[in-house]
Amino acid sequence: MFEYKSGIGIDAHQLEWGSQLIIGGVLIPHELGLLGHSDGDVLVHSIIDALLGSLTLGDIGSLFPSEDASLRGISSMELLKRVDKLRKESNWQVSHVDATIIAQKPALSPHIMDMRKNIDSVLSIGLSSINIKATTTDYLGFIGQEQGIAAMAVVTINRTQ
């Protein structure tokens, strides 16, 4: 018999001049980057929060507080590896990831496959179990005005009892 649980994650970061734009572990050419204590990767942060939620282990801010100077500028992919280690220690398997990035610019569809591969390099669940989409807000709100980028993710985990 299988036991299933799901978690939802949402993250948003402000865009700023002089920072790199990293989404899904991919460096994306753009004049603006995401402001954050780590690399500001909204996609990976939303996946981390969803994974932590499915494991009932809180959220990214409680596990990796912005006050922790050792995390300054850290790769979000490294944070995902740390959370995935907790998942493995709990004897759960990730069965599916579904995520949406919300950005007015730049166009993200050319980078989606690389993002999926990066996520799979940590979770090892196969590309057929990782779905990433990108959408805009049709110029509405802070995202539409190119002041920030957001992402949402759902992670489903399972284990055999």
Q: pLDDT band at 138, cuts 50/70/90?
A: very high
Q: With a cut of 90, say whether residue 112 has pLDDT above it.
A: yes
Beta bridge partners of 74: none
The whole-number pLDDT of residue 115 equals: 99
DSSP tag of 156: E
Other C-beta atoms lying within 10 Å of the C-beta of residue 75: 14
Q: pLDDT band at 20, cuts 50/70/90?
A: very high
Q: Report long-range pairs for 72-78 (Cβ below 8 Å, ≥24 apart).
A: 72/37, 72/38, 73/38, 73/39, 74/38, 74/39, 75/25, 75/38, 75/39, 75/41, 76/22, 76/25, 76/38, 76/39, 76/40, 76/41, 76/44, 76/45, 76/48, 77/25, 77/41, 77/44, 77/118, 77/122
Q: What is the rounded average pLDDT of the residues 121-129?
A: 98
Q: pLDDT band at 1, cuts 50/70/90?
A: confident
Q: How far apart are CA 82 and CA 12, in angstroms?
A: 21
CA atoms within 13 A on the CB side of 64: 23
Q: pLDDT band at 159, cuts 50/70/90?
A: very high
Q: Can you say whether residue 91 is alpha, beta or left, with left for phi > 0 and alpha for psi between -120 and 50 degrees?
A: left
C-alpha distances in angstroms, 58 versus 9, 36, 46, 115, 141? 11, 20, 13, 25, 29
Domains located in the chain, CATH noted? 2-160 (3.30.1330.50)
User: By C-alpha distance, which of 7, 10, 11, 28 is closest to 19?
Assistant: 28
Six-digit token pair at 147? Answer: 């002041």
